[in-house]
Each structure stands twice: as C-alpha cells, then as structure tokens.
Amino acid sequence: MNAHFLQTPIEYLKGVGPNRADLLKKELGIHTFQDLMHLFPNRYLDRTKYYRIGELQKTNAEVQIIGKITHIKTVEQKRGKRLVATFTDDTGQMELVWFRGHKWIRENLKLNVPYVIFGKTNWFNGMYSMPHPEMELLEAHEKSLRSAMQPIYPSTEKLSSSGITNKVISTLLETLFLEAKNRLAESLSKEVLNSLKLLPKNEALFNIHFPKNQTLLSRAQYRLKFEELFYIQLQLIRKNILHKTKIKGYTFPKVGDYFNTFFNEHLPFNLTEAQKRVIKEIRHDLGQASQMNRLLQGDVGSGKTIVAFMSLLIALDNGFQGCLMAPTEILSVQHYNSLLVWCNKLNISISILTGSTKTSERKEIHENLQNGSLQVLIGTHALLEDTVQFKNLGLAIVDEQHRFGVAQRSKLWHKNVQPPNILIMTATPIPRTLAMSVYGDLDVSVIDELPPGRKDIKTVHRFDSNRLKVFRFLKDEILLGRQVYIVYPLIQESEALDYKDLMDGYESISREFPKPKYQISIVHGKMKPADKDYEMNRFVKGETQIMVATTVIEVGVDVPNASVMVIESAERFGLSQLHQLRGRVGRGAEQSYCILMTSHKLSADAKTRLETMVRTNDGFEISEVDLKLRGPGDMMGTQQSGVLNLRIADIIKDSEILKIARSYAMQVLKDDPSLQKPNNAPILHTYTQLVKFKNIWNYIS
C-alpha cells in the first residue's frame, strides 16, 4: 500500500469527523490511518461459543446468547427508573436491564426478532439478568467482519463517556480495512518470511483485529512482534555499522612504555580473566580506524577503574590526552586519588576539574591542556564547558553513563576536530535484553567476575522489632575496629516526612551509641557541600564509626574499613538502588554484611525485592528481576524514561523473539549493508518510511 494512504489524517475516515478525531488524538495518540491500524488490542474475548439460557451457571461470566425480546417495561426504583426487557430462547427466559439511555434504547429495540446479546449475567430473584448488554441483530452479526475472538482495545474514561466505545473502535477498524482492500504492502523480504514461516503483513494486521481463531491470532501476534523488534534492531545495528565506517576515530597502533611498565611493574594485583578479556576488546577497538564506542559493564567492585586506567595508558602511549568524567564531585575526587598514585609512579601529569576548582588552578589547567603538557584530566560535568579545550583528546571515559544524557555525551565529541574514542562505564548491570535494545548501537564488554579475595556480602532481612539485636551486632563490629553505614530513604514526594525519619533515627542512634565512646557522622541533601565533604572525610579517615546518611552515598564512597550497611525502610528502595547501596561495603578483606530493615507490612513486590537481595549478590540476576518488576521505562531513570514505547512487543516477555529479530537484522545487514539488493526492497522501503515518519528514537529516548 502506498505510504500516503496510511498517513491520511484520521478525521477523513468515515465515521470519525473533527470531534472524534480530536478525542482520538488526545486520548490515544491516533493521528493517521496508520496509527489506528496499529492500535493493537489489549486482550480478546472468546465469542466462538453461544450459550442457551437453560445452561447458564451462576458464575457472573461473560456469555453470548441468541434469542428474542418478547416484552419491555419500565420499573420504578428508589432513585430513577430502570428499563427491563424479557429475553427468551427455546430453553428459558431472562431479563435485560438498562439504568440509563432508556428513551433511545426503547425506540430502537425490535420485538420478536432474533438478536445476539453479549455481557455479564447476574442471578437475582430466581432469574438471570444481564445489565447493559451488547446487542446486534442476528442478521447483521452473521454478516459482520467481527470475529469470534473479540478484541478489547485500550480506552480511557473520556473516550467511554464520549461514546467512543470498544464497539465504535472496532467498527472504525472495519471501515478502514474495507478502504485498504488488501493494499497493505509487505514490509519484510521473502527470505525472512519463508525462513520463519511468518504470516504476510496484510493477513497479520487483519487477524490481530479480526482473528478467526486462536491459532491465527497467535501467528499474527508473533509476526507483528517480530517486525517491530526487527526494525528497532535494524536501525541500531545500522547506526553502529555507519558509525564504524563513517566516523573516523584516532587510531592507536602501538602499546608502548606506559602500558607495559604499568603492567609489568606496578599492577597492584593480578587481573582476572574477565579484565584481561575486556582490555583485549578495548585494545582491538583502539587499533581500528573507526571511533571506539564501547559500553563497559561491571558490577560494583569488579575492577572497572584499572581497566579504564590501562585504556588511558594506550592513548598516552600514542601521544594523546585522556579524560575521565564522573557524575559527582565525590566520585571524581575518588577516581583522581586512585589514579594519582599510579600516575606518580609512571611520571604522568594528571589534574582534576570540578565546580569547586579555584580560578587560578582552572587557568593553569586550561593552559596545560591546550599546550599538551597535561596528559590526563579527571572531572565532573565541568569538563563539558566550552572553555575546556584539549590539544588532542584521544580517549574520553564516562563513568555511570545513565546519569549523563545523550546530549552531554555529544558535547564531549566536539572537543576535537575528530571525536575521541569513547568508553562508557556503568556499575548498574543492564539486563541483556535491555542492553540489546537501549545500547544496541554500542559494543558491549562485561566484567563478570570479582577479583579473588573478595568475599560475598552476607545479606539478611530483619524486621523493626529486631532492632535491639541489630544494634548489638553493630557494637560488636565496631569493637572489632570496623565502620558502619546506616542509610535512610529520601524521596522527593515525601521529603519532609523522610527528613523527620532521618533525624529521629539519628537521635535514637546517638542515644544507643553515646559519645565519647562512639562518634557519628551525618550526611544529607540539605547540608552545604563543604559540611558534607567534612563529614564524609571524617568517616573516610576513620574518625567516626557510624555514617548516618540519605541515599547521597550510593555512588562511589570507598571506605574499605566499612563492613556493615544497614538500610532503613528497605521496602521503599528499588532493587538496583539496594544493590548499589550494598556495594558500598565489601571493599576490604573482612566479611561484610548488609542488613535490610523493614516494617511487617510488605507488598508482594517488596517481598520479591528483599528475597532477591538475600538470595543473590549477582548484579545481572538482580537486574533481570528488577526489569520484570518495574518494566523497561523505570529501569533507566528519568533521562531515559519511556525507554521503549513499543506498540505490541514486550522486551521482557518477548526476549526470545528479540534475540531472533536481532540475529535476522544482523544477517540481512551483513549480506546487504546498504539494503540495495532487489529482494530487500520491502525492508529498505519500510526502513525509510520509519525514519521519515516515526524514527526509532521515538521508541528509545
């Protein structure tokens, strides 16, 4: 079908008109014929069976019956009236009841003519009744396109109250299909269709709206889910290929003195197999002519920093500068401190630039960056400012990517004539299905083992009633010279209450752990940054044994001596947040503990989250559970919200179809990168239309 027909504004469909069009646009986002055709049902009612009145059961189920109306009357009741019709077939009789719309219904009902009625039955006063049934004359019912499996479409309060019922939407679709008259063009190649035995496009669309039976419905759903995921993958993979062919990066042909000296003389511990594999993947990318665009995933404590540092050394060995950008000042300072030790040993110049860097220092940093004497720069968003100009930035590393929007990443690109090679690091394990879809244009490396000597953190769930036992345990740990975090949730919607909880908690902890025997730090969002840093530093130096905090500490505070993490009201945290918080302990050689405190009132989801935390330390397993509980939109946080606005597929339930779709998209592009072969004409056409009318980035923000 020509694309123009499908792009026709919805008001031009018979039965719509300007008012209905306005509602359909506002309520369901339906602007064109194509939007309506892609309004897929949420569920289906099985209308294959017709019941007899004599065989009805007292179940309140939805049933379909053929019979005639023999009598109509109006019955007075406490408030207003009700209209009652006697409906009979050859096995018995029942009542049809209406509480509103009497005049219109009464005028339109025909006596002693066969009707098909559909609705829920009630058993009342020794008789079955059906309130507000759906009704259709048997003659019209037999002629209509409407199928045995009745689709139920998404709707809203406003649509229902304006008379745009499910039946109306179904009728509009009927009209649309009659206008389309099999003019729907195929969007996949014959090879793909035959290989997977997929229904043709027009049959699939027809059977999703008017399925003749369950088998055809399932085949239609599979075909349309496959197609949706196939085109998302096709665009992501194509973007990646284009990236590799069009965007030239700096090539680092050699691995030289910096890298080799560090590897042979200063490596603080043996690299794990996973770290070696990832460094090899990065070295391979950096040796190519195209720009590196790699995502490095590694759970908390898996040793990403050393991999990042060794990647920077390859850039320096080839005469380039490198930078590492982190989302918070605390995290930047931490990266700077750990890299400084290694840079000093190798005689590498390194600086840090954050919001609180003094003007005189800034000036010096700017000069040294431009003349090339400063080799490595660590910093926060401050690195993105236009005044920060490098002489030749060869590698940019971004830590905790989900906190940097796409726009911020592209700013880094424009620091040079040519974009630097990019390595993105994240400690938030991203489930494979989500990574394939959201970061499908990046190459992904995973560090999936912890360094030797790291003990798994023991996690337990305790109720508030066990608090005294928990305090006793904390005292024992402090006696052994260890330190403790106690974290309180802080959520914007309930900020005032949460602060009160934090302060009440701090008071009861101060009573339980009195000075001078115990010292306590407190850190929360209302404090001045300088006060926060002062308290953090006291804890880092070991001057205080307990750190009471809101979630500000979730990223990046590294205190190897802290061995216990107590999370208050743990039921209010998301899974990935709980996992991130737990990762603040377990950084030293001692056994570490995470204690999840909750009240006795827990929702089913909260129970699942707590059980998952107690059962496993594996960030990837946790992220899979999290994805199932929260769905893809919430997983990526606000910057990436609405991650996948899919019409029919669900990347969690349909992860198998997603894998198949990705492998077919790869195969097609491997065989025909520019989609110029005649057999791929339908794919090229559909792809072009998608890019023109509804880009993939509408699906992936």
Better-scored residue on pLDDT, 330 or 31:
31
**Under 8 Å CB-to-CB from 670, ≥6 apart: which residues?**
none
Residue 417 has pLDDT above 70, yes or no: no
Q: Is residue 350 part of a domain?
A: yes
Shared domain check, 521 and 605: yes
379 has which bridge partners? 325, 353
Instruction: List C-alpha distances in Å: 147 to 65, 171, 174.
Output: 16, 12, 11
Ranking 388-397, 514-523, 544-553, 598-607 by mean pLDDT, the lowest is 544-553
Would the CA dihedral through 660, 666, 670, 676 be positive or negative? positive
Shared domain check, 485 and 434: no
CA-nearest of 664, 583, 655, 632 to 189 is 664
What pLDDT shows up at residue 475? 96
Better-scored residue on pLDDT, 671 or 293:
671
Structural domain boundaries, residue 496: 458-616
The predicted model gives 442-448 an average pLDDT of 85
**Which among 116, 146, 176 is the end of a domain?**
146
**Under 8 Å CB-to-CB from 255, ≥6 apart: which residues?**
283, 314, 317
Residue 645 has pLDDT above 70, yes or no: no
The predicted model gives 115-132 an average pLDDT of 90
The Cα–Cα gap between 497 and 493 comes to 9
**Under 8 Å CB-to-CB from 75, ≥6 apart: which residues?**
81, 82, 83, 84
Residue 86 has pLDDT above 80, yes or no: yes
Better-scored residue on pLDDT, 529 or 536:
536
In this structure, the number of other CB atoms found within 10 A of the CB of residue 91 comes to 13
**Which among 146, 162, 178 is the end of a domain?**
146
Residue 642 has pLDDT above 60, yes or no: no
In this structure, the number of other CB atoms found within 10 A of the CB of residue 465 comes to 9
Q: Given the DSSP bridges, would you call strands 115-120 and 62-76 parallel, antiparallel or unpaired?
A: antiparallel
Q: Is residue 701 part of a domain?
A: no
Q: Specify the DSSP element, H or E, that contains 351.
A: strand 350-353
What pLDDT shows up at residue 644? 55
What pLDDT shows up at residue 542? 92
Residue 693 has pLDDT above 80, yes or no: no
The predicted model gives 603-610 an average pLDDT of 92
* Per-residue buried b or exposed e for 42-68, using 16+ beta carbons within 10 Å of the residue's own CB: eebeebeeebebeebeeeeeebbbebe
What's phi and psi for 444, nearest 5 deg? Answer: -110, 130
Residue 640 has pLDDT above 50, yes or no: no
What's phi and psi for 692, nearest 5 deg? Answer: -75, -50
Shared domain check, 469 and 418: no
Q: Is residue 288 part of a domain?
A: yes
Amino acid sitting at position 617: N
Structure tokens at 686: 């559909």
Kindly report the CA angle at 586 between 595 and 477, in degrees rounded to 5?
Answer: 60
**Tokens 């059962």 label which residue?**
615
- In the DSSP assignment, the letter for residue 86 is E
pLDDT tier at 300, thresholds 50, 70, 90: confident
What pLDDT shows up at residue 408? 61
pLDDT tier at 402, thresholds 50, 70, 90: low
Residue 566 has pLDDT above 90, yes or no: yes
In this structure, the number of other CB atoms found within 10 A of the CB of residue 662 comes to 21
Residue 632 has pLDDT above 70, yes or no: no
Spatial contact of 127 and 95, defined as CB atoms under 8 Å apart: yes
* pLDDT cut 70: percent of the chain above it: 90
Q: Specify the DSSP element, H or E, that contains 206.
A: helix 201-209
Q: Given the DSSP bridges, would you call strands 62-76 and 593-598 parallel, antiparallel or unpaired?
A: unpaired
What pLDDT shows up at residue 312? 97
What pLDDT shows up at residue 192? 97
Query: Mean pLDDT over all residues of the chain?
Result: 86
Shared domain check, 426 and 507: no
Q: Is residue 688 part of a domain?
A: no
CA-nearest of 421, 312, 316, 416 to 370 is 416
Per-residue pLDDT tens over the stretch 485-495: 999 987 767 77
Shared domain check, 354 and 295: yes
CA 288 to chain centre: 32
The predicted model gives 403-411 an average pLDDT of 57
The Cα–Cα gap between 598 and 570 comes to 6
What pLDDT shows up at residue 631? 64
Amino acid sitting at position 107: E
Better-scored residue on pLDDT, 645 or 282:
282
Shared domain check, 488 and 420: no
Shared domain check, 496 and 534: yes
The Cα–Cα gap between 582 and 617 comes to 9
Amino acid sitting at position 523: V
The Cα–Cα gap between 430 and 442 comes to 13
Q: Is residue 682 part of a domain?
A: no
Shared domain check, 416 and 304: yes
The Cα–Cα gap between 234 and 690 comes to 11
Peptide bond into 154 cis (omega under 30): no
* pLDDT cut 90: percent of the chain above it: 50
Would the CA dihedral through 102, 106, 108, 111 be positive or negative? positive
- In the DSSP assignment, the letter for residue 290 is B
Shared domain check, 555 and 479: yes
Q: Is residue 674 part of a domain?
A: no
Residue 660 has pLDDT above 50, yes or no: yes
**Under 8 Å CB-to-CB from 633, ≥6 apart: which residues?**
641, 642, 643, 644
What pLDDT shows up at residue 411? 67
The Cα–Cα gap between 605 and 574 comes to 10
Kindly report the CA angle at 175 between 173 and 181, in degrees rounded to 5?
Answer: 100
Q: Specify the DSSP element, H or E, that contains 459.
A: strand 458-463
What pLDDT shows up at residue 479? 95
The Cα–Cα gap between 642 and 346 comes to 45
Spatial contact of 695 and 641, defined as CB atoms under 8 Å apart: no
Per-residue pLDDT tens over the stretch 536-564: 889 989 999 999 988 755 445 678 889 99
**Which among 616, 631, 646 is the end of a domain?**
616
Instruction: List C-alpha distances in Å: 569 to 462, 602, 608.
Output: 10, 10, 15
What pLDDT shows up at residue 584? 83
Q: Is residue 237 part of a domain?
A: no
Q: Is residue 82 part of a domain?
A: yes
The predicted model gives 236-256 an average pLDDT of 85
What pLDDT shows up at residue 147? 58
The predicted model gives 397-414 an average pLDDT of 64
Spatial contact of 290 and 323, defined as CB atoms under 8 Å apart: no
The Cα–Cα gap between 252 and 310 comes to 13
Peptide bond into 516 cis (omega under 30): yes
Q: Which CATH number fits the domain that encloses residue 497?
A: 3.40.50.300
What pLDDT shows up at residue 1? 53
The predicted model gives 404-424 an average pLDDT of 69
Counted domains in the chain: 3
Shared domain check, 301 and 383: yes
**In terms of DSSP H, where are the helices of 439-570?**
467-479, 495-512, 529-541
CA-nearest of 368, 414, 404 to 639 is 404
In this structure, the number of other CB atoms found within 10 A of the CB of residue 532 comes to 21
Q: What is the Cα Rg of the chain in Å?
A: 32
129 has which bridge partners? 95, 122
The predicted model gives 562-572 an average pLDDT of 93
Shared domain check, 611 and 524: yes
Provide the Cα torsion 209, 210, 213, 217; round to 10°.
Answer: -20
pLDDT tier at 347, thresholds 50, 70, 90: very high
Residue 398 has pLDDT above 70, yes or no: yes
The Cα–Cα gap between 245 and 479 comes to 61
Shared domain check, 465 and 392: no
